[in-house]
Structure 1
């Protein structure tokens, strides 16, 4: 994954407890201390197809395989336990296949290191499809392992093997994975895994799917093949932008007095962050960022225009209309953003740096509207920024990310709790700490919290569905261990209820994590939609809650959390009570616990977000 290592753990590959030889040692703690198998008996030299497959997973240095157990890959499961000792990779038991993929997705977003998820047969794959689509839209490299069969019909058990076998299982996800395979031999399986691992991590990144025949896994093999030399199967190096095109782009930027830089899917290491800041400062570019994506530019910088949001703010839209040149660094839906701002036709000249068109297909419209581009670079945006800095003679100093939080903390407000109050309380309680906001709810205003470091915020799920938040929070918190940061996910009540059981995995594997449920007891975004329709049709807006409310009875999140082994607090309904709850919660998370706080907020969104959603509309949230 070129220049996308965020470095949440100090040493990247081993920061999560895995070591080069796959041993965790007697002093393993946290996740690595869990689920330790009895050692296999010595002297057993028999080998099986799944043993050869498991050895490749270890050679690929995959730290974890998140899974919901299934008989279709019982052979591989045995090899991971009894050949590899359930370490490097270690299995993480999840209570739903969608959570397994979400955990892998969140882990990558936090530490820049891909991991795997295993899905049982066709039924498990169907459960996991929403999470795979999220990873696809978010351009996240997740290795999805599947299983089927036996492909040989003569070997199938009555009924169960037949309903769990399909002719072309990969067809279920082929439109939204980069590559899939169903290998028919051990050699082909090993090659398929290597190819999948290479493709997933090649820019633009994305999920891949390898479907393993149950019969192949359980077949004996005469001898174990040698471990692959992984250095020979690395992803290709990042492309270098055309020098003549760089000079043309630099000339356009030098000659413009009004430049807007739209920052999207970019590298999240410190060097990339600093280069973007240097370039923006050198050309005086106003900068727009996106709450759908992780932090990529300091949002309290004087050049940052408006607050980051799910849609472009009114300030950013105005800046786009006034701009002479837009430097687009792989933003999500550039065409739609320009069109909504009124800057598409007769608007600014556009310099586009993106390889995303390599993934566009005829099934999904996740690519957004077709953007105009006067200059287009078919390479990663970080390479273009570096080349522009060099062409303009900009040095390598300055612009480094600063992790310090705001010194000033807001005073406690009276009255009903709001989303703004959640942000204020969290600021008061975490003052002086480095916090990673893993997720925020749809009604969050990007101006509530400044992002000054690549790990200050990890973005949304990509596909805009509901239920991914808890699983991605677990994976992200796992990836943040050892970073010195406090992992916090602020989730909506609907999102939490759909994915709540994912938190059991965090509790079981001792993953420190704070989840704050912004609980308005409604699928409130749909109330906004129903109000809009009612007003357009002259009908009673008072009925907007019908079919939307999550009440009578109100789900008790604290009780539900405790049933999963998570420390549950609440409900709390004002800022003073939330301050007390969060002080307790933060202390517990810093001691290694998983904690959920039920914050009951008044229905509604932060004002800036409410205005944007009314203007643009949105899906379920």
Structure 2
């Protein structure tokens, strides 16, 4: 990490960009992630020489996609937005996939864009013309919550205040404010009187209509076999404890989703089936025995119900608590299938759980009607490195497994072998399925976890890591402790499984599924690629007996405050079927 550079020159507010920088500080932004660009050179100067690169401090990235990913990971841990700056139209295009991930994952984020001077008379030849757009936000408008391009300093103040309020309001999602380069660089006639941000704060979380809540509560109290689908929720111990209390009060079976992250302790007697991506056999059996369903901001409720009852609407009452419908439009299908719901409760899921608990009042917990899933049998010794062996070695090596935060998990991770007992035990997936997002999101989450005493661990596939490897430079540069375990099968194995499924359906040779999928000949050396970014790395580790020593060495590095990567060579077929291991279904 470079030593802090003291602010130089005049520290008086004198330029348009100084106003934007001051507002970021007043609004409480601690970091701003960026890759440099001339379209926001005015703002860059204000962050460095007016604010002194503190509150917010710059997080320098080698690609705009990583800058957005880091802000995404930060929000997954804190529930708060990080600021991101993207250079003109080209930087916005670079960052667009990561913005889509953040949109699908419903996380807050303040994205500042910039355009070459809107006034054509002020554009430099060539470069300012190709970096100026008449409607730059149109590139991402279908997957952001709100956008604005202010034309004056007072308008910029209002735009930033509104953007901050909207991104923090439920349901959260990224917002985009584009700053004209000329507006940034024009001198101020006089410094504006900036308003107090607290007067523009986001409202308290929404709660459902009282009559609708009372009707749903009556059905919950009458249910004998209720099931709670615990989806997205706050990463706070209060929200976590309330979900547990509600399940115990109702004696409800609970199901959780690998896409959403830890929402309920997975070794609790009421946790009725392993976490899943697609509905697993055990989870389907639980749903089919239920006499009522309570969905708490569940991802793809319609798809889940269709998997449980393919030929009919759910034969039991369904209560859905969500605000997600407020973001739905026709440009993107991330809203998923339309679910048949008997009691739609428009409200924040955690606030609604608190309301339900208050309405239920003090009473003894009811016995659960469904037995918890049994843990898997111990894995047989493997001839190759497997994720099961990696999980066992990591569990033996850490002092307290409950202080591990899995900021990412690849397919095949044996989640049943590692109970999740804290809201930060596992942060869920990237939202939009954009390959290459894992390292950026993991680094942002690790930045948010730095100093908390928790150990951030990212288990990532080789295809994902290969696309985002230079995000590691930021982790090395800023001293962000993070353990990265690369599940390296030298293939886009998920796609291999898809190709095998297609070949079998067509009566063709499934053994050729690897063609156009394998990342071999030459094999990628992830340890050397990581070392080239300044990150200590180990591997490739190809023998199971070498895994414990590699993990022990890596933990020493991370505990010293630095990132470390282990390249784990897990050949295709060494682990049991990856879809079954993740609680999913066979490749189509």
TM-score (norm 1): 0.89
Q: Distance in 2 between matches of 1:396 and 1:153?
A: 71
**Residue of 476, 498, 511 corresponding to 1:507:** 476
Sort the Cα spacing of 1:608 and 1:467 in 2 relative to 1 into closer, same or farther, 3 A: closer
Deviation at 1:247, TM superposition (A): 2.4
Counterpart for residue 482 of structure 1: 451
Maintained 8 Å contact 2:21/2:51: yes
Sort the Cα spacing of 1:310 and 1:35 in 2 relative to 1 into closer, same or farther, 3 A: farther
Q: Distance in 1 between matches of 2:576 and 2:242?
A: 32
Counterpart for residue 459 of structure 1: 428
My pick for the range that moved more, 243-252 or 472-481, is: 243-252
**Residue of 65, 70, 77 corresponding to 1:110:** 77
Counterpart for residue 305 of structure 2: 338
Deviation at 1:612, TM superposition (A): 6.7
Counterpart for residue 361 of structure 2: 393
Counterpart for residue 373 of structure 2: none
Deviations 1:278-336 (A, max 9, x none): 11112111111011112110011111121102122211112112211000001000001
Sort the Cα spacing of 1:574 and 1:202 in 2 relative to 1 into closer, same or farther, 3 A: same
Deviations 1:595-619 (A, max 9, x none): 000011121455473377873648x
- 5+ long unaligned stretches in structure 1: 1-30, 399-407
**Residue of 325, 332, 337 corresponding to 1:357:** 325
Sort the Cα spacing of 1:610 and 1:412 in 2 relative to 1 into closer, same or farther, 3 A: closer
Deviation at 1:397, TM superposition (A): 11
Counterpart for residue 387 of structure 2: 419
1:562 aligns with 2:518: no
Deviation at 1:374, TM superposition (A): 0.6
Maintained 8 Å contact 1:136/1:176: yes
**Residue of 90, 101, 120 corresponding to 1:123:** 90
Counterpart for residue 74 of structure 1: 41
Counterpart for residue 441 of structure 2: 472
Counterpart for residue 236 of structure 2: 269
Counterpart for residue 242 of structure 1: 209
Q: Distance in 1 between matches of 2:377 and 2:71?
A: 34
Q: Distance in 1 between matches of 2:362 and 2:234?
A: 19
My pick for the range that moved more, 598-607 or 531-540, is: 598-607
Q: Distance in 1 between matches of 2:441 and 2:94?
A: 16
1:573 aligns with 2:542: yes
1:374 aligns with 2:342: yes
Deviations 1:60-102 (A, max 9, x none): 1101110000000000000000000011001111000000000
1:34-73 mapped onto 2 (5 Å cutoff):
34=2, 36-41=4-9, 47-73=14-40
1:122-521 mapped onto 2 (5 Å cutoff):
122-342=89-309, 345-394=313-362, 413-433=381-401, 434-521=403-490
Maintained 8 Å contact 1:149/1:156: yes
Q: Distance in 1 between matches of 2:87 and 2:466?
A: 23
**Residue of 586, 589, 609 corresponding to 2:579:** 609
Sort the Cα spacing of 1:75 and 1:395 in 2 relative to 1 into closer, same or farther, 3 A: farther
Q: Distance in 2 between matches of 1:199 and 1:213?
A: 21
Residue aligned with 1:265, SS: coil
My pick for the range that moved more, 55-64 or 573-582, is: 573-582
Deviations 1:348-383 (A, max 9, x none): 210111000000011011011001111111111112
TM-score (norm 2): 0.94
Maintained 8 Å contact 1:412/1:576: no
Maintained 8 Å contact 2:277/2:584: no
Q: Distance in 2 between matches of 1:139 and 1:41?
A: 41
Deviation at 1:443, TM superposition (A): 2.7
Maintained 8 Å contact 2:103/2:431: yes
**Residue of 510, 515, 524 corresponding to 1:546:** 515
Sort the Cα spacing of 1:118 and 1:261 in 2 relative to 1 into closer, same or farther, 3 A: same
Q: Distance in 2 between matches of 1:490 and 1:41?
A: 45
Maintained 8 Å contact 1:261/1:280: yes
**Residue of 528, 543, 556 corresponding to 2:497:** 528
Maintained 8 Å contact 1:56/1:228: no
Deviation at 1:246, TM superposition (A): 2.4
List 4+ stretches of structure 1 deviating above 6 A: 395-398, 408-412, 611-614
Residue aligned with 2:198, SS: helix
Residue aligned with 2:585, SS: helix
**Paired positions, count:** 576
Q: Distance in 2 between matches of 1:216 and 1:429?
A: 54
Sort the Cα spacing of 1:46 and 1:330 in 2 relative to 1 into closer, same or farther, 3 A: closer
Maintained 8 Å contact 1:412/1:575: no
Maintained 8 Å contact 1:46/1:220: no
- 5+ long unaligned stretches in structure 2: 367-375
